[in-house]
Amino acid sequence: MTMHIGIDLGGTKIEIAALSHEGEELLRTRRPAPSKNYEETVRAIVDLIGEVQHKLGHPGTVGIGTPGVVSRKTGLIKNAYATALNDKPFKSDLETALGRPIKIANDGNCFALSEAIDGAGKGAEIVFGVIVGTGCGGGLVIDQHVIEGANSIAAEWGHNPLPSPDEHELQGFSYYQGGENNIEAYLCGAGLVHDHLRSTGESLTAPEIAAADTPQKEQTMQRYERRMAKALGSLINIIDPHVIVLGGGLSNIDRLYENVPKYWGEYIFSDHVETQFKRNVHGDSSGVRGAAWLWVDH
């Protein structure tokens, strides 16, 4: 039986899953990620793969979703928020330890691939995956193939400036490595929390704000939805995807799916917008499933 093993490597956990060639989940488990230790991270992944293959009785292909990408220039990991991976030969070290080739893709691309194959974007030609949570990531899949680009940074929409900023959005706002006034600064979970605090003086969590049970929370959510509409409208103007799939912690805010498309037509160069805005189907499993699918030609 052909088996495809996927690894989703996060800042705090390592998740592994094995899929049959038909997409049946044969096994899935997760472990805490070694804290900021590169060598222990490599060893933990190798050990997990060995355990899965032993339990299932045969080897499988290995795909890994990482919080970063392999530089085409150096072969080293770049742009990873799990900073222990940066500037390390992660792919080659794993291939040496495993004794066989592996495939690696950004975790946003793995999310998008999973949803394009058998999730919310199934059957669509162009699928853009959006992850809004700790950060603001993305992934682009065309005809069920991940598009990485010339510099391996395709779909990094969160690191662009917020389009069409209002006057109050020009006051300066930054988060992580994205730079001041970038999309990630406004749309990540911390951005939503900070915007509400700056506007009202209330220190609340993102789910508390999303409840919108006071006029102040409602105003914060409307600002957030309009900002997401601006950012996605600009993306639609460039890529024109058939489906945008939302993932990450903030994808659980139900009102986004109705309200964001109400706003985005104002920023899109078209008389009508066919793009669908959908919640993910596979949830937290999308990343690990997409990593497993990296070896499969759909």
Helix (H/G/I), strand (E/B), else coil: 276:
strand
pLDDT at 284 over 90: no
For residue 216, count CB atoms less than 10 angstroms from its CB and return exposed for 0-12, middle for 13-18, buried for 19 or more. middle
Confidence category of residue 179, pLDDT binned at 50, 70, 90: low
Helix (H/G/I), strand (E/B), else coil: 268:
coil
Query: 291 phi and psi, to 5 degrees?
Result: -60, -40
Measured in whole angstroms, how far is the alpha carbon of residue 295 from the centre of its chain? 19
Under 8 Å between Cβ of 192 and 220: yes
In the chain, % helix, strand, coil (3-state, to 5) comes to: 40, 20, 35
What does the pLDDT read at residue 170? 62
Confidence category of residue 8, pLDDT binned at 50, 70, 90: very high
The residue count for the chain:
298
Q: Which domains does the chain have, with CATH numbers?
A: 3-106 (3.30.420.40), 120-280 (3.30.420.40)
Task: Report which residue type is found at 162.
Answer: L
Under 8 Å between Cβ of 158 and 138: yes
Q: What are the DSSP E strand ranges found in the chain? A: 3-9, 13-20, 25-32, 61-66, 69-70, 77-78, 103-106, 126-132, 136-142, 145-146, 243-247, 276-279
* Verdict on whether the full-model pTM lies above 0.75: yes
Over the stretch 41-73, which tens digit does the pLDDT of each residue have?
Answer: 999 999 999 999 999 998 999 999 998 899 999
pLDDT at 295 over 60: yes
Over the stretch 110-154, which tens digit does the pLDDT of each residue have?
Answer: 999 999 999 999 999 999 999 999 889 999 999 999 999 999 999
Average pLDDT of the chain to the nearest whole number: 92
The two structure tokens encoding residue 152:
């391996």
Over the stretch 259-269, which tens digit does the pLDDT of each residue have?
Answer: 999 999 999 99
Helix (H/G/I), strand (E/B), else coil: 202:
coil
Helical segments of 64-157, H only: 90-98, 107-118
Angle (CA) 200-225-142 rounded to 5° is 145
User: What distances in angstroms separate CA 239 from CA 39, 80, 116, 125, 243, one per listed residue?
Assistant: 39, 24, 16, 12, 11
Under 8 Å between Cβ of 65 and 105: yes
